Structure 1
Amino acid sequence: MKLGWGFLNAHDPWATFLRAKFLTREGLLIPYNKHSSIWNGLKEAIAAVQANSKWIIGSGRDIYFWRDC
């Protein structure tokens, strides 16, 4: 779960690299399976993080209306 959260939210070089490798340009998870030792587990963790997370809007400055769920 911690790795999934970091994948979705961290600005560290490892997270940036993995997002570039495993996300489409629209920000969605790739629909096919990559040959990676961590991708299957990471995909499950990302789904669990997304299912159990919510946004607190606040000022709305960081919300992109057309893309964010």
Structure 2
Amino acid sequence: QSQFGGMLAMFGGTEALVPLKQPFVEKMQAAMVELSQSDSIKQALKEELEAPAMMEEIQANIENIIDQRLNELTPKMVK
């Protein structure tokens, strides 16, 4: 329940928002694509990904994924 619930009910409830959803999603996707192509965003992401703490976290996540996959293997799958 939102503070806008009463006002929204006057305009048809949540069903009134359904036609607005797809255009909103499309505009957000376009904005994200445009933003992701910005040189400043690319540089900021590069710096974050190259940070030692981030590299350690990525490595730990990869190790966890590999361990999970190895634990899922059965002798029959290995043959």
Whether these two folds match at TM > 0.5 is no
The structure with the larger Rg is: 2
User: Normalization by structure 2: what TM-score?
Assistant: 0.26
Structure with higher helix content: 2
User: More relative contact order in 1 or in 2 (CA 8 Å, sep 6+)?
Assistant: 1
TM-score of the aligned structures, taking structure 1 as reference length = 0.29
